[in-house]
Structure formats: C-alpha cells, structure tokens
A and B are shown apart, each in its own frame.
Chain A
C-alpha cells in the first residue's frame, strides 16, 4: 500500500498513467532533439584557436520560422487530443445519485453511506464496480486523492464534486489530502479498502448496527464517561447521541484499521495514547487534551474497544 500513480489499480488510474507516459515520451524526444542540436552547434561552430574570423552573418529565414512554429503546433495539438480522450475516460458522465458521500474536515474524512452508516478515514467499496463518490468540505478546501484508483478532485466548501472509482482487484489503497489545508494537512490521510462484494455487504451490515451498551466493568464505566466528559459534544456514537458531526463518528471505531487519519495503528495501546495526548501525536489538531486520569483512560479505552 503506497501513495503512487505508477501502479494503477483501476482503468481510470491506468488512463492517467498512460497520458503521463505519452507526455513524457513526446517531451523527452523534444528535449533530446533540442539538447543534442545545441551540443552539436556548440562543438561544431565553436571559436577555434587559429581561426578568429567573424562567423557568417546569416540572419532570418521565413520558411524556417513557419516550420518551427507549425511543427510544435502539431505536437501541441496531439497532446491536447490525448488529454481530452483521457479526461473523458476518467470523468464519466454523472446520471445517478452518489454511492458514497465524503465530507472533508480539518483534518479527517467523514464517509457517509446510504442509510445511517457513517465512518471516518476508511472507505470500503466493492471490487469491479463503478463507485460514484460525492466530495465536499466542511471548512476549508481539501483535495481527495487516491492515486492508484483515480484522479485528484478538490473538496470545496459549499460545492459538490464527483469522482468515479472502479477498482479492478481487491486490496487496500492509500489516499491523502492533496490541497494544503492547515496544521495537520500532512496527516490527513485515509485508506480505501476494496473488498469482494460479499465481504463488502457483510461490512456494511456490521456498520449499520447501533452500538450495544456493554454489560459492565470498565467498558460500562467508559460509556458513562463518554457522555459525562465532553467527548459526546463532538463525536457521535449511534445509540448514544447524534449531534452535528464535528469529529469522527465512533460507532464502530474499534473495527477500523487505523486511528487519527492513518497516524496510528488501531491498537488499544495506541488508542489510549491518543486519548491521553492528541496534541503531542498531532500538534495543532482539534482533539483537545482533556488531561484524563489513568483510570479514565483505562475505562474509555475499554469502552471504545467494544465498538466493533
């Protein structure tokens, strides 16, 4: 799993790479011709020791000028044609409602599926299907970029953009915010998990469930803390609260692979550390350091770990 345009996993990404290659060959050829002719001219017509005569004072040639205007014009026309063909192959027309809505926040990704399913920083899609994703933003401009699957597309507040993804094989693909958006821009990462259709449906089923209240012990105490402390002012857990979405939905947080927009692997130990000092792990992030006591941390972690 890496952030690279050179190993495309969808027809869209493959077309973009093809255009990149085509441009590189055309431009590489031009560079070679210009550089080699310059070198040739420099060596062939250099001022030699014995011969100090002025060079021929040749100047101007209308035919030559027209030729070296027309030939680049042709090349430019070719590149433009290729660009249009590629763009049409990547941006398919949009004639239906989106499958997934991604809302970009400083500095995480809210992912909404039809129905009640809401998750964060981890997008599950089925393999070998065209998935249409709507992209918008809650605060500043971000950019949704999964280089192995599709083009870059900006997430602009107050505006809906759309992007298609048609993964050809299963796997986990890395994504990132590609428009500078503030302090934690570099850690505004996410992942796209491409599953076989059955696995995808099973995942969607799990996600639709509301969070069950733990029977007792640390986890039940943690559930109480979640509402008593300020956690519930920003985070939602379906079954407990449903305020406006300021921070990632935690209904199934323990089922995710990573924490804090890919910053940490999702282990109980890392979760505890993140609750303890988010401002150290991601300086500038909006998750406050609540100066939780050791027992609070244990109880909250125990509770959040039940949310699978």
Chain B
C-alpha cells in the first residue's frame, strides 16, 4: 500500500496525524479509507489470481504439457478459484459499497465504523492465511469447492486444506460483518426525505445483497467448521465411513455457493443501473420493477443450489424442482436487462 498518497483532508478524528501516514491508514475507521484499502487489496489479489490463471493456460496450451506437475496444477487452479471468488470479486464490491453507500444516502460514515475496520482486517488476515499455505509446504488442492471426501484428511493429507478452511472462515466472518454494517447504515442513516422508495438503485442492490450475504455465508462458515472438525478431530460429518455423507457437503457448500453468484453480480447490476441512466441523460425506465426484480433474484437464488448437483443422482423430482427454480431466475434478470 506504499503507493497510496497521504491526503491530509481524509484524516479522521480518531487517528493522530503526527504518528505518521501508515499508522493513520492502519488505525482508520473511515469508510472511504477502508473502501480504498479494500479496492487496493483486491487489486493485489487480482494480479496474483491473474498470474495463476496464466500458469493454468500455459499448462493447457498443448495436450500432454509438462509445464506443471499434476499436483502443482491442482494447487494452482484451486488457489485461482478461491482467490477470484473470495479475495477479488466479493471484497471488490464490498469496497465499492463501503466507499459509496454512505455518500449516496447522505450519511457521515457507516453505522458501525469499528466493525467496518474489523471486517477489512479479518478479510486481509484470511487472504494472508490462504497464501501462507504455500509457505507451509502445500497449498490446498481440492478445488475451490473442496468436495468431501477428497478434502478430508484421508485424501488431502497435507495441511493446505486446513489453511483454506481457516482463511475462508475469516473472510466469511468479515463479509457477514460488513453486510450487517451496510444494512444498519442503509436502514438507519439515510438523510431526511430519502425514503426507501427513493433509494438509488445501487444502494438498493447493496441492501438486498447484504441480506443475501447474511442468509448464505453462515452455511459456508458452519460447513468449514465441520470440515475442520473432521480433519483435526477425526469426526465424520462428510465421510461415509462412520455415518457421514459426502453429499451433505455439496448441499451446504452450494446453498452458500449459488447465492454467492448473485452476491457477486447484484452490486454489478446496481452499478449498471446507475451508470446507464446518467450517460443516457434520463431516469431508469422502471425503477420499482428493477428494485423488485433484485428482491426476486435474491429470494430465488436461495432455492437453486442443487442445480450444481444434477449428476449426483438426487432423483428426478429434485432435479425437476431445481431445474425449474433455476430457469425462473432468468425472468427477473430479463426484467433488469429490458429496463
């Protein structure tokens, strides 16, 4: 972060400027600064994720390539997927939400500034833990979805997976804290006259998105803890020996993982719904329909997870039900595009 210019105007009251720019940034609880730190951190991880993507493509450039060993390749694609989802796209949008939401609703800061700083630092800790796995000898290599029992101790004996679970746990806690913070901010700190029906669409998306995070992320956090208990304390949540179920991990993971797709795309939809009206110099065509379609997408997204599991053999009834709910999401998404 050495390239961040120190701007005296941004110093908040809690940090003493005399102690230097670094300390001011590290101890800040200012939403703009935290937003900027989120954005810069995601840029760093984006570069790392991009390098990993390049390594993958070099390996795949021709059949039978020996650029990476199978084991190294598996580590690289696992780290690439995990990095892009948890350390780039989600925190990038959280950073934007952090920076813009208080400005767009006329608030002086987020409702819970210290919690906001905590969210960022626990997210950074998660990112560092994930990459520390390389230093410890072996990065996780069970895919970003880490299907059990491949992710269990019997099949992933080295400790990369433990770093993976701990890192995601940290990031998950930070993300949930930010979501709570954003909800409280949008509900309580709107300026006078800014009713919920007049909220900018980006703020609408951030609000709905935060509820979605609160609904989805705890499922991941719980299953990460269960995986850790399996790996470290020899439990059997996700192994068929001892009465567990590998399918359970898939249900848990995707009941987080599919809402996660919308957690990543809803703020982006919000940005589009703000930018296009500005440059076409007219208000969005159907404000209430766009806002309502967001709510519809969020609700539907909680009921589509098993479309990642059509090949598991859940039986036709489940496959049809999840097929139908997944197709239905196209309708509110279409409403957004048309408007």
Residues of A whose CB lies within 8 Å of any CB of B are 34, 45, 54-61, 65, 68-69, 72-73, 75-76, 79-80, 83-84, 87-88, 91, 106, 139-141, 143, 151-154, 156-159, 161-162, 178-186, 283-284
For chain A, what secondary structure do more than half of its interface residues adopt (helix, strand, loop), or is it mixed? loop
Chain A residues with CB under 8 Å of B284's CB are 59
Other contacts beyond A60-B286, A68-B338: 20, CB < 8 A = A58-B282, A61-B285, A61-B286, A65-B335, A65-B339, A69-B331, A72-B330, A80-B320, A84-B323, A87-B320, A88-B316, A139-B149, A139-B154, A140-B150, A153-B311, A157-B246, A159-B247, A178-B311, A179-B147, A180-B74
Q: Looking at the complex, which one of B143, B240, B280, B286 makes contact with A180 (CB distance below 8 Å)? A: B143
Contact residues, B111-151 vs A (CB, 8 A): 142-143, 147, 149-150
| A140–B141 alpha-carbon span in the complex (Å) | 14
16 A-B pairs with CB atoms under 8 Å apart are A45-B280, A54-B281, A55-B280, A55-B281, A72-B330, A72-B331, A72-B334, A83-B327, A139-B149, A154-B311, A157-B246, A158-B245, A159-B240, A159-B247, A162-B313, A179-B147
List, in ascending order, chain B residues with CB within 8 A of A152's CB.
311
Known contacts A65-B289, A87-B319, A156-B312: A76-B71 contact under CB 8 Å: no
- Taken residue by residue from 296 to 339, chain B's Cβ proximity to chain A (1 for < 8 Å, 0 otherwise) reads as 00000000000000011100100110011001101100110111
Task: Say whether B150 contacts A182, CB under 8 Å.
Answer: yes
* Nearest B residue to A66, CB-CB: B289
| A residues in contact with B285, CB < 8 Å | 58-61
Is A156 in contact with B286, judged by CB distance below 8 angstroms? no
- Do A55 and B150 have beta carbons less than 8 Å apart? no
CA distance A56 to B240 in the complex (A): 64
Rounded to whole angstroms, the CA-CA distance of A69 and B330 in the bound complex is 10
Q: Is B106 an interface residue when CB atoms closer than 8 A count as contact?
A: no
User: Which residues of chain A are near B287, meaning CB under 8 Å?
Assistant: 59-60
Query: Are the C-beta atoms of B286 and A183 separated by less than 8 Å?
Result: no
Is B283's CB within 8 Å of the partner chain A? yes
The minimal Cβ–Cβ distance linking A11 to chain B, given in whole angstroms, is 18
Contacts of A184 in B (CB 8 A): 70
Check A141–B289 contact: CB distance below 8 A.
no
Among B71, B143, B312, residue most surrounded by chain A Cβ atoms (within 10 Å): B312
The residues of A that contact B247 with a CB separation of less than 8 Å are 156, 159
List the 10 closest pairs (A to B, CB-CB), nearest first.
A158-B240, A161-B313, A140-B150, A72-B334, A152-B311, A76-B327, A68-B338, A157-B240, A183-B70, A154-B311
Residues of A near B320 (CB, < 8 A) are 80, 83-84, 87
Determine which of B71, B150, B327, B334 lies in contact with A181 in the assembled complex, contact meaning CB atoms within 8 Å: B150
Interchain CA distance A161-B77 in the complex, whole Å: 29
Separation of A283 and B70 alpha carbons in the complex (Å): 7
Q: Chain A contacts of B319 at CB under 8 A?
A: 87
Checking A58, A140, A178, A180 against B149 with a beta-carbon cut-off of 8 angstroms, the contacting residue is A140
Is B188 part of the contact surface with A, judged by Cβ < 8 Å? Answer: no
- The answer to whether residues A79 and B281 also contact, given A151-B311, A157-B246, A283-B70 and a CB cut-off of 8 A, is no
In the complex, the answer to whether A141 meets B246 with C-beta atoms within 8 Å is: yes
Residues of A within 8 A of B286 (CB): 59-61, 65
For A106, what are the chain B residues with a Cβ–Cβ distance below 8 Å?
155
Note all chain B residues with C-beta closer than 8 A to A60: 285-287
Q: Does B69 contact A (CB under 8 A)?
A: yes
Determine whether the beta carbon of B240 is less than 8 Å from that of A68. no
Alpha-carbon separation in the docked complex, A118 to B46 (Å) = 49
Q: How far is the CB of A5 from chain B (nearest CB, A)?
A: 14
Interface residue from B69, B149, B328, B338 paired with A141 (Cβ < 8 Å): B149
Chain B residue numbers with a CB within 8 Å of A55 are 280-282
* CB-CB under 8 A for A283 and B282, given A141-B149, A141-B246, A156-B247: no
Q: B313–A34 contact, CB under 8 A? A: no
| CB closest chain-B residue, reference A84 | B320
Contact of A76 with B328 in the complex, beta carbons under 8 Å: yes
Q: Is there contact, CB below 8 Å, between B147 and A186? A: no
Instruction: Considering the complex, give the chain A residue whose CB is closest to the CB of B285.
Output: A59
Most buried by A among B70, B74, B245, B285: B70
Q: Is the CB of A157 within 8 A of B149?
A: yes
Instruction: Please tell me which one of the listed residues B283, B330, B334 contacts residue A59 in the complex, with CB atoms under 8 A apart.
Output: B283
CA distance A84 to B318 in the complex (A): 12
